[in-house]
A and B are shown apart, each in its own frame.
Chain A
Amino acid sequence: MHRSAQRRIIIPFLLPALLLLGVFFLYPLVRTVDISFTEWTRTGSYSYVGVENYTRVVDDPGYLNALKNAFLFTLVGGCMLFPVAIAIAWALNQRVHGERFFRFVVFAPVVLSAAVVALMWKFVYHPTLGLINPALEGLGLGALARTWLGDASTALPAVAFVTVWHGIGIWVVLLSAGFERLPPDVLEAGRIDGAGEWRLFRSVMLPMLRDLFRILVVLWIVQSMQAFAFVFIMTGGGPFGSTDIVGTLMYRVAFERSEFGYAAAMGVVLVVIMLIVAQIVNKVMKRDELQY
Protein backbone atom coordinates (compact mmCIF):
# COMPACT_ATOMS: atom_id res chain seq x y z
CA MET A 1 0.00 0.00 0.00
CA HIS A 2 1.61 3.25 -1.04
CA ARG A 3 -0.01 5.23 1.79
CA SER A 4 2.19 3.70 4.46
CA ALA A 5 5.25 4.16 2.30
CA GLN A 6 4.27 7.79 1.90
CA ARG A 7 4.08 8.26 5.64
CA ARG A 8 7.78 7.59 5.97
CA ILE A 9 8.68 10.67 3.94
CA ILE A 10 6.52 13.14 5.86
CA ILE A 11 9.06 13.99 8.53
CA PRO A 12 12.22 14.07 6.38
CA PHE A 13 10.44 16.29 3.84
CA LEU A 14 9.12 18.74 6.43
CA LEU A 15 12.09 18.84 8.77
CA PRO A 16 14.58 21.11 6.95
CA ALA A 17 12.01 23.82 6.33
CA LEU A 18 10.66 23.61 9.86
CA LEU A 19 14.18 23.79 11.24
CA LEU A 20 14.87 27.08 9.44
CA LEU A 21 11.50 28.45 10.44
CA GLY A 22 12.06 27.43 14.03
CA VAL A 23 15.54 28.92 14.38
CA PHE A 24 15.08 32.16 12.49
CA PHE A 25 11.41 32.89 13.02
CA LEU A 26 9.54 31.02 15.75
CA TYR A 27 12.29 31.13 18.34
CA PRO A 28 12.91 34.89 17.87
CA LEU A 29 9.17 35.46 17.96
CA VAL A 30 8.82 33.80 21.35
CA ARG A 31 11.96 35.49 22.55
CA THR A 32 10.55 38.97 21.82
CA VAL A 33 8.18 38.75 24.72
CA ASP A 34 10.99 37.54 26.94
CA ILE A 35 13.36 40.31 25.84
CA SER A 36 10.75 43.01 26.34
CA PHE A 37 10.78 42.25 30.07
CA THR A 38 14.54 42.70 30.38
CA GLU A 39 17.02 45.52 30.57
CA TRP A 40 20.21 45.24 28.53
CA THR A 41 23.57 46.80 29.05
CA ARG A 42 26.06 47.64 26.34
CA THR A 43 28.15 44.65 27.24
CA GLY A 44 25.27 42.33 26.35
CA SER A 45 24.29 41.15 29.82
CA TYR A 46 20.71 41.62 30.90
CA SER A 47 18.38 41.38 33.87
CA TYR A 48 14.64 41.05 34.23
CA VAL A 49 12.83 44.23 35.14
CA GLY A 50 9.21 43.11 34.86
CA VAL A 51 6.84 45.50 33.11
CA GLU A 52 9.10 48.51 33.58
CA ASN A 53 9.81 48.80 29.86
CA TYR A 54 6.11 48.95 29.15
CA THR A 55 5.39 51.60 31.78
CA ARG A 56 8.30 53.63 30.38
CA VAL A 57 6.94 53.39 26.83
CA VAL A 58 3.58 54.81 27.79
CA ASP A 59 4.93 58.19 28.89
CA ASP A 60 8.03 58.50 26.74
CA PRO A 61 7.57 61.74 24.76
CA GLY A 62 9.79 60.39 21.99
CA TYR A 63 7.60 57.33 21.60
CA LEU A 64 4.38 59.34 21.66
CA ASN A 65 5.80 61.66 19.02
CA ALA A 66 6.75 58.66 16.88
CA LEU A 67 3.30 57.20 17.33
CA LYS A 68 1.69 60.48 16.34
CA ASN A 69 3.89 60.68 13.25
CA ALA A 70 3.10 57.08 12.34
CA PHE A 71 -0.62 57.90 12.44
CA LEU A 72 -0.06 61.06 10.45
CA PHE A 73 2.02 59.13 7.93
CA THR A 74 -0.74 56.54 7.55
CA LEU A 75 -3.39 59.22 7.15
CA VAL A 76 -1.52 61.50 4.76
CA GLY A 77 -0.22 58.56 2.72
CA GLY A 78 -3.69 57.01 2.57
CA CYS A 79 -5.18 60.26 1.29
CA MET A 80 -2.53 60.37 -1.43
CA LEU A 81 -2.79 56.69 -2.27
CA PHE A 82 -6.43 55.76 -2.53
CA PRO A 83 -7.93 58.48 -4.77
CA VAL A 84 -5.08 58.15 -7.26
CA ALA A 85 -4.98 54.35 -7.15
CA ILE A 86 -8.75 54.15 -7.67
CA ALA A 87 -8.57 56.59 -10.57
CA ILE A 88 -5.74 54.67 -12.24
CA ALA A 89 -7.43 51.30 -11.71
CA TRP A 90 -10.64 52.66 -13.19
CA ALA A 91 -8.78 54.14 -16.13
CA LEU A 92 -6.91 50.91 -16.82
CA ASN A 93 -10.20 49.07 -17.02
CA GLN A 94 -11.50 51.32 -19.78
CA ARG A 95 -9.89 49.29 -22.59
CA VAL A 96 -7.73 52.17 -23.71
CA HIS A 97 -4.81 51.94 -26.09
CA GLY A 98 -1.45 51.11 -24.58
CA GLU A 99 -2.95 49.38 -21.58
CA ARG A 100 -0.03 46.98 -21.29
CA PHE A 101 2.47 49.83 -21.41
CA PHE A 102 0.62 51.80 -18.74
CA ARG A 103 0.36 48.73 -16.52
CA PHE A 104 4.10 48.29 -16.92
CA VAL A 105 4.91 51.86 -15.96
CA VAL A 106 2.54 51.97 -13.00
CA PHE A 107 3.90 48.74 -11.58
CA ALA A 108 7.59 49.29 -12.41
CA PRO A 109 8.53 51.13 -9.18
CA VAL A 110 7.23 48.19 -7.14
CA VAL A 111 10.01 45.93 -8.40
CA LEU A 112 12.70 48.39 -7.33
CA SER A 113 14.43 48.30 -4.00
CA ALA A 114 12.99 50.74 -1.47
CA ALA A 115 16.57 51.81 -0.78
CA VAL A 116 17.18 52.87 -4.38
CA VAL A 117 13.83 54.63 -4.69
CA ALA A 118 14.40 56.50 -1.44
CA LEU A 119 17.88 57.61 -2.54
CA MET A 120 16.61 58.68 -5.93
CA TRP A 121 13.84 60.79 -4.44
CA LYS A 122 16.13 62.24 -1.83
CA PHE A 123 17.95 63.81 -4.76
CA VAL A 124 14.75 64.76 -6.59
CA TYR A 125 13.74 66.73 -3.49
CA HIS A 126 17.20 68.28 -3.13
CA PRO A 127 16.63 72.06 -2.93
CA THR A 128 19.24 73.05 -5.53
CA LEU A 129 20.42 69.88 -7.29
CA GLY A 130 17.00 68.21 -7.44
CA LEU A 131 14.17 68.42 -9.91
CA ILE A 132 11.28 69.91 -8.00
CA ASN A 133 12.49 73.36 -7.02
CA PRO A 134 14.10 74.19 -10.39
CA ALA A 135 10.90 72.97 -12.07
CA LEU A 136 8.77 75.21 -9.86
CA GLU A 137 11.02 78.16 -10.61
CA GLY A 138 10.87 77.37 -14.29
CA LEU A 139 7.08 77.50 -14.10
CA GLY A 140 7.22 80.84 -12.30
CA LEU A 141 6.11 79.28 -9.04
CA GLY A 142 9.41 79.90 -7.27
CA ALA A 143 7.52 80.99 -4.16
CA LEU A 144 6.48 77.37 -3.60
CA ALA A 145 10.05 76.11 -3.63
CA ARG A 146 11.38 74.93 -0.29
CA THR A 147 13.81 72.48 1.26
CA TRP A 148 11.28 69.70 1.14
CA LEU A 149 13.00 67.20 3.40
CA GLY A 150 14.60 69.81 5.64
CA ASP A 151 11.39 71.60 6.54
CA ALA A 152 9.48 70.15 9.48
CA SER A 153 6.14 70.94 7.85
CA THR A 154 6.79 69.27 4.49
CA ALA A 155 9.14 66.40 5.33
CA LEU A 156 6.52 63.89 6.43
CA PRO A 157 4.17 64.39 3.45
CA ALA A 158 7.19 64.33 1.12
CA VAL A 159 8.31 60.96 2.45
CA ALA A 160 4.74 59.63 2.43
CA PHE A 161 4.46 60.63 -1.22
CA VAL A 162 7.53 58.60 -2.16
CA THR A 163 6.24 55.59 -0.25
CA VAL A 164 3.01 55.83 -2.20
CA TRP A 165 4.83 56.31 -5.51
CA HIS A 166 6.84 53.17 -4.85
CA GLY A 167 3.97 50.92 -3.82
CA ILE A 168 0.98 52.22 -5.76
CA GLY A 169 1.26 49.49 -8.42
CA ILE A 170 0.20 46.81 -5.95
CA TRP A 171 -2.90 48.73 -4.94
CA VAL A 172 -3.78 49.46 -8.55
CA VAL A 173 -3.60 45.76 -9.39
CA LEU A 174 -5.83 44.84 -6.45
CA LEU A 175 -8.35 47.57 -7.23
CA SER A 176 -8.23 46.79 -10.91
CA ALA A 177 -9.18 43.18 -10.16
CA GLY A 178 -12.13 44.55 -8.21
CA PHE A 179 -13.29 46.68 -11.14
CA GLU A 180 -12.92 43.71 -13.45
CA ARG A 181 -15.16 41.56 -11.27
CA LEU A 182 -18.07 44.03 -11.26
CA PRO A 183 -21.08 42.35 -12.82
CA PRO A 184 -21.33 43.67 -16.38
CA ASP A 185 -25.14 43.40 -16.49
CA VAL A 186 -25.53 45.90 -13.65
CA LEU A 187 -23.25 48.41 -15.40
CA GLU A 188 -25.07 47.82 -18.64
CA ALA A 189 -28.41 48.42 -16.94
CA GLY A 190 -27.02 51.72 -15.68
CA ARG A 191 -25.93 52.69 -19.16
CA ILE A 192 -29.31 51.86 -20.63
CA ASP A 193 -30.88 54.06 -17.98
CA GLY A 194 -28.76 56.88 -19.36
CA ALA A 195 -26.12 57.16 -16.66
CA GLY A 196 -22.87 58.80 -17.77
CA GLU A 197 -19.50 57.28 -16.94
CA TRP A 198 -18.97 59.59 -13.97
CA ARG A 199 -22.42 58.82 -12.57
CA LEU A 200 -21.83 55.12 -13.09
CA PHE A 201 -18.49 55.35 -11.32
CA ARG A 202 -19.84 57.29 -8.36
CA SER A 203 -23.21 55.65 -7.84
CA VAL A 204 -22.66 52.10 -8.99
CA MET A 205 -19.00 51.11 -8.99
CA LEU A 206 -17.83 52.79 -5.78
CA PRO A 207 -20.65 51.42 -3.59
CA MET A 208 -20.18 47.97 -5.03
CA LEU A 209 -16.45 48.03 -4.30
CA ARG A 210 -16.97 49.13 -0.73
CA ASP A 211 -15.96 45.81 0.77
CA LEU A 212 -12.73 45.76 -1.19
CA PHE A 213 -11.94 49.31 -0.05
CA ARG A 214 -12.43 48.28 3.56
CA ILE A 215 -9.95 45.43 3.25
CA LEU A 216 -7.42 47.60 1.44
CA VAL A 217 -7.65 50.42 3.96
CA VAL A 218 -7.01 47.98 6.82
CA LEU A 219 -4.06 46.56 4.87
CA TRP A 220 -2.67 50.03 4.29
CA ILE A 221 -2.89 50.83 8.00
CA VAL A 222 -1.10 47.64 8.96
CA GLN A 223 1.64 48.22 6.38
CA SER A 224 2.24 51.91 6.80
CA MET A 225 2.42 51.75 10.58
CA GLN A 226 5.44 49.52 10.05
CA ALA A 227 7.09 51.86 7.56
CA PHE A 228 10.82 52.14 7.94
CA ALA A 229 13.11 52.25 4.92
CA PHE A 230 11.86 55.45 3.31
CA VAL A 231 11.95 57.49 6.48
CA PHE A 232 15.25 56.02 7.59
CA ILE A 233 17.00 56.74 4.30
CA MET A 234 15.41 60.04 3.36
CA THR A 235 15.32 61.92 6.65
CA GLY A 236 16.52 59.60 9.40
CA GLY A 237 13.60 60.83 11.51
CA GLY A 238 14.45 64.53 11.26
CA PRO A 239 14.17 67.46 10.99
CA PHE A 240 13.50 67.92 14.71
CA GLY A 241 11.82 64.53 14.98
CA SER A 242 9.08 65.60 12.58
CA THR A 243 9.30 62.36 10.60
CA ASP A 244 10.44 60.06 13.39
CA ILE A 245 8.19 57.01 13.31
CA VAL A 246 8.16 53.97 15.55
CA GLY A 247 10.35 51.93 13.20
CA THR A 248 13.17 54.46 13.10
CA LEU A 249 12.91 55.16 16.81
CA MET A 250 13.10 51.45 17.61
CA TYR A 251 16.12 51.06 15.39
CA ARG A 252 17.95 53.88 17.14
CA VAL A 253 16.99 52.71 20.61
CA ALA A 254 18.15 49.19 19.80
CA PHE A 255 21.36 49.81 17.89
CA GLU A 256 22.55 53.23 18.99
CA ARG A 257 21.54 53.07 22.65
CA SER A 258 21.73 49.25 22.88
CA GLU A 259 18.47 49.14 24.82
CA PHE A 260 17.15 45.95 23.29
CA GLY A 261 14.52 45.32 25.94
CA TYR A 262 13.03 48.79 25.65
CA ALA A 263 12.98 48.65 21.83
CA ALA A 264 11.29 45.24 21.91
CA ALA A 265 8.60 46.64 24.21
CA MET A 266 8.06 49.52 21.75
CA GLY A 267 7.51 47.02 18.96
CA VAL A 268 5.04 44.97 20.95
CA VAL A 269 3.07 48.07 21.95
CA LEU A 270 2.95 49.28 18.34
CA VAL A 271 1.68 45.94 17.05
CA VAL A 272 -1.06 45.87 19.69
CA ILE A 273 -2.11 49.44 18.84
CA MET A 274 -2.00 48.63 15.14
CA LEU A 275 -4.27 45.62 15.53
CA ILE A 276 -6.75 47.61 17.62
CA VAL A 277 -6.85 50.47 15.10
CA ALA A 278 -7.26 48.01 12.23
CA GLN A 279 -10.16 46.34 14.06
CA ILE A 280 -11.87 49.67 14.72
CA VAL A 281 -11.51 50.84 11.13
CA ASN A 282 -12.77 47.49 9.97
CA LYS A 283 -15.88 47.79 12.16
CA VAL A 284 -16.57 51.40 11.23
CA MET A 285 -16.31 50.79 7.50
CA LYS A 286 -18.48 47.70 7.66
CA ARG A 287 -21.95 49.06 7.07
CA ASP A 288 -24.99 47.05 6.09
CA GLU A 289 -24.24 44.70 3.29
CA LEU A 290 -25.25 46.05 -0.06
CA GLN A 291 -27.53 43.72 -1.90
CA TYR A 292 -27.17 43.30 -5.61
Chain B
Amino acid sequence: MSSSTEVRPAPAPGAAVAEPRRRGRGARRQGSDRAPFRRYHLIIYLLLGAVAFSTAGAFAWVFNVSMKTNTEFIGTRPWSVAEGWRWENYTDAWNSANVGSFFGNSVIVSVTATALGVVLAAFAAYPLARIPFRGSGLVLSVFLLGLMVPWMVTFIPLYVTMQDLGLLDSRLGLALVYATYNLPFNVFVLVGFMRTLPGELEEAAAVDGAGPTRTFLRIILPLMGPGVASVSIISFLQNWNEFFYALVLIHSPERMTLPLGLFQLGQAADYGTNWVTLFAGMMITVVPVLLVFALLQNQVTKGLTAGALKG
Protein backbone atom coordinates (compact mmCIF):
# COMPACT_ATOMS: atom_id res chain seq x y z
CA MET B 1 0.00 0.00 0.00
CA SER B 2 2.35 2.66 -1.08
CA SER B 3 0.04 5.20 -2.61
CA SER B 4 0.62 8.80 -1.86
CA THR B 5 -2.59 9.07 0.15
CA GLU B 6 -1.27 6.58 2.64
CA VAL B 7 2.39 7.39 2.59
CA ARG B 8 2.05 11.13 2.59
CA PRO B 9 4.18 12.20 5.57
CA ALA B 10 3.10 15.24 7.50
CA PRO B 11 0.57 17.48 5.75
CA ALA B 12 2.35 18.42 2.59
CA PRO B 13 1.61 21.74 0.97
CA GLY B 14 -0.96 21.76 -1.81
CA ALA B 15 -4.72 22.00 -1.99
CA ALA B 16 -5.32 18.32 -2.68
CA VAL B 17 -3.92 17.33 0.69
CA ALA B 18 -6.44 19.39 2.54
CA GLU B 19 -9.21 17.16 1.22
CA PRO B 20 -10.74 14.90 3.81
CA ARG B 21 -9.91 11.22 3.45
CA ARG B 22 -13.39 10.36 2.20
CA ARG B 23 -12.69 12.33 -0.91
CA GLY B 24 -9.54 10.34 -1.42
CA ARG B 25 -11.17 7.91 -3.77
CA GLY B 26 -11.98 10.57 -6.31
CA ALA B 27 -8.44 11.81 -6.26
CA ARG B 28 -7.06 8.32 -6.48
CA ARG B 29 -8.51 7.78 -9.91
CA GLN B 30 -6.06 10.13 -11.43
CA GLY B 31 -3.12 8.21 -12.76
CA SER B 32 -0.54 10.14 -10.80
CA ASP B 33 -1.95 8.80 -7.56
CA ARG B 34 -1.64 5.16 -8.62
CA ALA B 35 0.77 2.91 -6.85
CA PRO B 36 3.91 2.12 -8.82
CA PHE B 37 3.87 -1.46 -10.02
CA ARG B 38 5.23 -4.00 -7.58
CA ARG B 39 5.66 -7.71 -7.99
CA TYR B 40 2.88 -8.67 -5.56
CA HIS B 41 0.48 -6.63 -7.64
CA LEU B 42 0.51 -9.56 -10.06
CA ILE B 43 -1.33 -11.60 -7.44
CA ILE B 44 -3.89 -8.83 -7.09
CA TYR B 45 -4.51 -8.59 -10.81
CA LEU B 46 -4.73 -12.37 -11.01
CA LEU B 47 -7.29 -12.48 -8.19
CA LEU B 48 -9.40 -9.59 -9.42
CA GLY B 49 -9.04 -10.79 -12.98
CA ALA B 50 -10.39 -14.22 -12.06
CA VAL B 51 -13.37 -12.67 -10.29
CA ALA B 52 -14.08 -10.33 -13.18
CA PHE B 53 -13.68 -13.13 -15.67
CA SER B 54 -16.14 -15.41 -13.91
CA THR B 55 -18.79 -12.70 -13.69
CA ALA B 56 -18.34 -11.35 -17.19
CA GLY B 57 -18.12 -14.90 -18.50
CA ALA B 58 -21.41 -15.85 -16.89
CA PHE B 59 -23.21 -12.90 -18.48
CA ALA B 60 -21.57 -13.49 -21.83
CA TRP B 61 -22.67 -17.11 -21.70
CA VAL B 62 -26.29 -16.20 -20.96
CA PHE B 63 -26.26 -13.69 -23.80
CA ASN B 64 -24.67 -16.20 -26.15
CA VAL B 65 -27.24 -18.90 -25.35
CA SER B 66 -30.04 -16.39 -25.85
CA MET B 67 -28.81 -16.05 -29.43
CA LYS B 68 -28.85 -19.78 -30.17
CA THR B 69 -31.61 -22.10 -31.29
CA ASN B 70 -32.80 -24.86 -29.00
CA THR B 71 -31.18 -27.55 -31.16
CA GLU B 72 -27.98 -25.53 -31.24
CA PHE B 73 -28.08 -25.24 -27.43
CA ILE B 74 -28.29 -29.02 -27.01
CA GLY B 75 -26.11 -29.93 -29.96
CA THR B 76 -23.05 -27.71 -29.66
CA ARG B 77 -20.36 -27.15 -27.05
CA PRO B 78 -21.66 -24.83 -24.31
CA TRP B 79 -19.19 -22.07 -25.13
CA SER B 80 -19.38 -22.29 -28.90
CA VAL B 81 -20.48 -18.96 -30.33
CA ALA B 82 -24.04 -18.74 -31.59
CA GLU B 83 -24.38 -19.10 -35.34
CA GLY B 84 -26.32 -15.90 -35.84
CA TRP B 85 -28.08 -13.04 -34.15
CA ARG B 86 -31.39 -14.60 -33.28
CA TRP B 87 -33.20 -11.56 -31.92
CA GLU B 88 -36.45 -13.39 -32.58
CA ASN B 89 -35.76 -15.30 -29.36
CA TYR B 90 -36.38 -12.01 -27.61
CA THR B 91 -39.64 -11.32 -29.42
CA ASP B 92 -40.68 -14.94 -28.72
CA ALA B 93 -39.90 -14.50 -25.04
CA TRP B 94 -41.64 -11.15 -24.94
CA ASN B 95 -44.82 -12.33 -26.66
CA SER B 96 -45.43 -16.05 -26.46
CA ALA B 97 -43.55 -16.74 -23.21
CA ASN B 98 -45.33 -13.81 -21.53
CA VAL B 99 -42.14 -12.03 -20.54
CA GLY B 100 -43.69 -8.83 -21.84
CA SER B 101 -46.58 -9.20 -19.45
CA PHE B 102 -44.24 -10.04 -16.55
CA PHE B 103 -42.22 -6.97 -17.45
CA GLY B 104 -45.32 -4.81 -17.41
CA ASN B 105 -46.37 -6.20 -14.03
CA SER B 106 -42.91 -5.61 -12.64
CA VAL B 107 -42.97 -2.02 -13.82
CA ILE B 108 -46.44 -1.39 -12.37
CA VAL B 109 -45.69 -3.02 -9.02
CA SER B 110 -42.18 -1.59 -8.58
CA VAL B 111 -43.09 1.94 -9.60
CA THR B 112 -46.24 2.07 -7.45
CA ALA B 113 -44.50 0.56 -4.45
CA THR B 114 -41.43 2.77 -4.78
CA ALA B 115 -43.44 5.97 -5.18
CA LEU B 116 -45.70 5.11 -2.26
CA GLY B 117 -42.84 4.00 -0.04
CA VAL B 118 -40.74 7.08 -0.73
CA VAL B 119 -43.53 9.66 -0.46
CA LEU B 120 -44.98 8.24 2.75
CA ALA B 121 -41.51 7.89 4.23
CA ALA B 122 -40.69 11.51 3.41
CA PHE B 123 -43.86 12.72 5.14
CA ALA B 124 -43.29 10.47 8.15
CA ALA B 125 -39.63 11.38 8.43
CA TYR B 126 -40.28 15.11 8.63
CA PRO B 127 -41.96 15.28 12.06
CA LEU B 128 -39.66 12.56 13.39
CA ALA B 129 -36.56 14.47 12.36
CA ARG B 130 -37.49 18.08 12.97
CA ILE B 131 -40.46 18.50 15.32
CA PRO B 132 -39.76 17.55 18.92
CA PHE B 133 -42.79 15.78 20.38
CA ARG B 134 -43.45 13.25 23.07
CA GLY B 135 -43.24 9.70 21.76
CA SER B 136 -41.19 10.57 18.70
CA GLY B 137 -38.45 8.21 19.83
CA LEU B 138 -40.99 5.43 20.24
CA VAL B 139 -42.48 5.96 16.77
CA LEU B 140 -39.01 5.98 15.22
CA SER B 141 -38.10 2.73 16.95
CA VAL B 142 -41.32 1.14 15.67
CA PHE B 143 -40.15 1.97 12.16
CA LEU B 144 -36.67 0.68 12.86
CA LEU B 145 -38.13 -2.57 14.19
CA GLY B 146 -39.03 -3.26 10.58
CA LEU B 147 -35.33 -3.38 9.76
CA MET B 148 -34.68 -6.10 12.27
CA VAL B 149 -37.46 -8.67 12.16
CA PRO B 150 -36.72 -11.63 9.86
CA TRP B 151 -39.23 -12.35 7.10
CA MET B 152 -39.67 -15.91 8.29
CA VAL B 153 -41.70 -14.73 11.23
CA THR B 154 -44.19 -12.71 9.25
CA PHE B 155 -44.91 -14.36 5.92
CA ILE B 156 -47.62 -16.76 7.11
CA PRO B 157 -49.68 -14.21 9.05
CA LEU B 158 -49.13 -11.77 6.19
CA TYR B 159 -50.56 -14.31 3.78
CA VAL B 160 -53.57 -14.85 6.03
CA THR B 161 -54.04 -11.10 6.49
CA MET B 162 -53.90 -10.51 2.73
CA GLN B 163 -56.46 -13.25 2.28
CA ASP B 164 -58.76 -11.55 4.81
CA LEU B 165 -58.35 -8.22 3.02
CA GLY B 166 -58.99 -9.76 -0.38
CA LEU B 167 -55.58 -8.59 -1.56
CA LEU B 168 -54.19 -12.01 -2.28
CA ASP B 169 -53.08 -12.53 -5.88
CA SER B 170 -53.38 -8.85 -6.71
CA ARG B 171 -50.75 -6.45 -7.97
CA LEU B 172 -52.05 -3.73 -5.66
CA GLY B 173 -51.61 -6.01 -2.65
CA LEU B 174 -48.05 -6.87 -3.67
CA ALA B 175 -47.23 -3.19 -4.21
CA LEU B 176 -48.61 -2.29 -0.77
CA VAL B 177 -46.51 -5.01 0.84
CA TYR B 178 -43.38 -3.86 -0.99
CA ALA B 179 -44.03 -0.24 -0.02
CA THR B 180 -44.40 -1.28 3.61
CA TYR B 181 -41.15 -3.20 3.55
CA ASN B 182 -39.36 -0.25 1.95
CA LEU B 183 -40.64 2.15 4.62
CA PRO B 184 -38.30 1.39 7.55
CA PHE B 185 -35.13 1.86 5.52
CA ASN B 186 -36.46 4.95 3.76
CA VAL B 187 -37.55 6.56 7.02
CA PHE B 188 -34.22 5.73 8.60
CA VAL B 189 -32.21 7.31 5.77
CA LEU B 190 -34.46 10.34 5.33
CA VAL B 191 -34.58 11.14 9.06
CA GLY B 192 -30.80 11.13 9.11
CA PHE B 193 -30.73 13.33 6.05
CA MET B 194 -33.28 15.85 7.35
CA ARG B 195 -31.45 16.22 10.61
CA THR B 196 -28.43 17.58 8.77
CA LEU B 197 -30.41 20.56 7.45
CA PRO B 198 -29.96 23.77 9.46
CA GLY B 199 -32.59 24.36 12.15
CA GLU B 200 -33.25 27.95 11.15
CA LEU B 201 -35.06 26.94 7.95
CA GLU B 202 -38.45 26.55 9.61
CA GLU B 203 -38.07 29.69 11.70
CA ALA B 204 -37.22 31.76 8.66
CA ALA B 205 -40.16 30.30 6.76
CA ALA B 206 -42.48 30.97 9.70
CA VAL B 207 -41.31 34.57 9.88
CA ASP B 208 -42.16 34.90 6.21
CA GLY B 209 -45.64 33.59 7.00
CA ALA B 210 -45.45 30.07 5.55
CA GLY B 211 -47.45 27.35 7.30
CA PRO B 212 -45.73 24.09 8.28
CA THR B 213 -47.11 22.06 5.37
CA ARG B 214 -46.02 24.70 2.91
CA THR B 215 -42.63 24.88 4.59
CA PHE B 216 -42.19 21.15 4.20
CA LEU B 217 -43.30 21.03 0.57
CA ARG B 218 -41.57 24.17 -0.64
CA ILE B 219 -38.41 24.36 1.44
CA ILE B 220 -37.48 21.06 3.05
CA LEU B 221 -38.49 18.66 0.28
CA PRO B 222 -36.55 20.43 -2.50
CA LEU B 223 -33.44 20.28 -0.31
CA MET B 224 -33.90 16.52 0.07
CA GLY B 225 -33.16 15.78 -3.59
CA PRO B 226 -30.14 13.53 -3.13
CA GLY B 227 -31.65 11.65 -0.18
CA VAL B 228 -34.92 11.02 -1.99
CA ALA B 229 -33.06 9.99 -5.13
CA SER B 230 -30.97 7.47 -3.27
CA VAL B 231 -33.84 5.81 -1.37
CA SER B 232 -35.86 5.72 -4.60
CA ILE B 233 -33.11 3.90 -6.47
CA ILE B 234 -32.59 1.37 -3.70
CA SER B 235 -36.31 0.76 -3.19
CA PHE B 236 -36.83 0.34 -6.90
CA LEU B 237 -34.01 -2.19 -7.25
CA GLN B 238 -35.26 -4.19 -4.29
CA ASN B 239 -38.84 -4.19 -5.54
CA TRP B 240 -37.79 -5.07 -9.07
CA ASN B 241 -35.79 -8.05 -7.85
CA GLU B 242 -38.02 -9.30 -5.04
CA PHE B 243 -38.94 -12.96 -5.35
CA PHE B 244 -40.20 -14.39 -2.08
CA TYR B 245 -43.29 -12.28 -1.40
CA ALA B 246 -44.24 -12.45 -5.06
CA LEU B 247 -44.07 -16.23 -4.82
CA VAL B 248 -46.20 -16.29 -1.69
CA LEU B 249 -48.79 -13.70 -2.69
CA ILE B 250 -49.22 -14.03 -6.48
CA HIS B 251 -50.60 -17.14 -8.15
CA SER B 252 -52.03 -16.28 -11.54
CA PRO B 253 -49.52 -16.11 -14.39
CA GLU B 254 -51.01 -12.89 -15.77
CA ARG B 255 -50.15 -11.02 -12.56
CA MET B 256 -46.63 -12.36 -12.02
CA THR B 257 -43.60 -10.11 -11.81
CA LEU B 258 -40.41 -10.88 -13.73
CA PRO B 259 -38.50 -12.88 -11.09
CA LEU B 260 -41.52 -15.06 -10.36
CA GLY B 261 -42.46 -15.38 -14.02
CA LEU B 262 -38.93 -16.44 -14.95
CA PHE B 263 -38.96 -18.98 -12.16
CA GLN B 264 -42.14 -20.43 -13.67
CA LEU B 265 -40.54 -20.46 -17.13
CA GLY B 266 -37.53 -22.20 -15.60
CA GLN B 267 -39.76 -24.89 -14.11
CA ALA B 268 -41.38 -25.34 -17.50
CA ALA B 269 -38.00 -25.53 -19.25
CA ASP B 270 -37.06 -28.43 -16.98
CA TYR B 271 -39.73 -30.52 -18.62
CA GLY B 272 -39.96 -28.87 -22.02
CA THR B 273 -37.38 -27.94 -24.57
CA ASN B 274 -37.68 -24.20 -24.78
CA TRP B 275 -34.48 -23.02 -23.16
CA VAL B 276 -33.44 -20.16 -25.35
CA THR B 277 -36.52 -18.05 -24.64
CA LEU B 278 -35.81 -18.48 -20.94
CA PHE B 279 -32.29 -17.16 -21.50
CA ALA B 280 -33.67 -14.26 -23.52
CA GLY B 281 -36.07 -13.59 -20.63
CA MET B 282 -33.15 -13.55 -18.20
CA MET B 283 -31.38 -10.97 -20.34
CA ILE B 284 -34.54 -8.85 -20.45
CA THR B 285 -34.72 -8.91 -16.65
CA VAL B 286 -31.06 -8.24 -16.08
CA VAL B 287 -30.20 -5.53 -18.59
CA PRO B 288 -32.30 -2.64 -17.15
CA VAL B 289 -30.92 -3.29 -13.70
CA LEU B 290 -27.34 -3.43 -14.91
CA LEU B 291 -27.87 -0.18 -16.81
CA VAL B 292 -29.12 1.57 -13.68
CA PHE B 293 -26.15 0.21 -11.81
CA ALA B 294 -23.65 1.27 -14.47
CA LEU B 295 -25.01 4.82 -14.43
CA LEU B 296 -25.26 5.20 -10.67
CA GLN B 297 -22.59 2.84 -9.41
CA ASN B 298 -21.54 4.66 -6.25
CA GLN B 299 -25.02 5.53 -5.07
CA VAL B 300 -26.30 2.02 -5.68
CA THR B 301 -23.33 0.41 -3.97
CA LYS B 302 -23.66 2.52 -0.84
CA GLY B 303 -27.42 2.24 -0.67
CA LEU B 304 -27.66 -1.49 -1.23
CA THR B 305 -24.89 -2.12 1.26
CA ALA B 306 -26.72 -0.13 3.90
CA GLY B 307 -30.02 -1.73 2.92
CA ALA B 308 -28.63 -5.25 3.13
CA LEU B 309 -27.63 -4.78 6.74
CA LYS B 310 -31.19 -5.09 7.84
CA GLY B 311 -32.29 -8.45 9.10
Contact = CB atoms under 8 A, between A and B. Distances in A.
A219 B310 CA distance: 9
B150 A170 contact: no
Interface of A: 2, 5-10, 13-14, 16-18, 20-21, 23-29, 31-32, 34-35, 44, 87-88, 91-116, 119-120, 122-124, 129-131, 134, 165, 167, 169-170, 173-174, 180, 184, 187-188, 191, 197-198, 200, 219, 222-223, 226, 228-229, 232-233, 246-247, 250-251, 254-255, 260, 263-264, 267-268, 270-271, 274
B131 A7 contact: yes
B241 A95 contact: no
Contacts of A200: 1
Nearest to B243: A115
State the main secondary structure of chain B at its contact with A. helix
Contacts of B41: 94, 96
Contacts of A109: 55
Contacts of A250: 152, 156
Contact of A5 (B1, B47, B211): B211
Given A14-B139, A32-B156, 19 more contacts: A10-B131, A17-B123, A29-B149, A32-B154, A91-B48, A93-B1, A95-B33, A96-B34, A100-B29, A102-B52, A111-B289, A111-B300, A112-B290, A120-B62, A124-B58, A134-B79, A174-B305, A187-B1, A226-B150
Nearest to A3: B131
Interface in B69-114: 73-74, 77-79
Interface string B241-285: 111100110000000001110110010000000010011001001
A109 B35 CA distance: 28
12 contacts: A2-B202, A14-B127, A17-B143, A18-B124, A20-B183, A25-B146, A91-B43, A114-B243, A115-B260, A129-B78, A197-B1, A260-B159
Contacts of A7: 131, 133
A263 B156 contact: yes
B308 interface: yes
A265 B113 CA distance: 30
A88 B187 contact: no
A35 B157 contact: yes
A18 B146 CA distance: 12
B259 A91 contact: no
Contacts of B124: 13-14, 16-18
B35 A96 contact: yes
Contacts of A255: 248
A219 B139 CA distance: 25
Nearest to A262: B156
Contacts of B278: 119
B141 interface: no
Given A170-B304, A264-B156, A95 B34 contact: yes
Contacts of A116: 259, 262, 282, 285-286
Given A13-B126, A113-B285, A271-B152, A29 B157 contact: yes
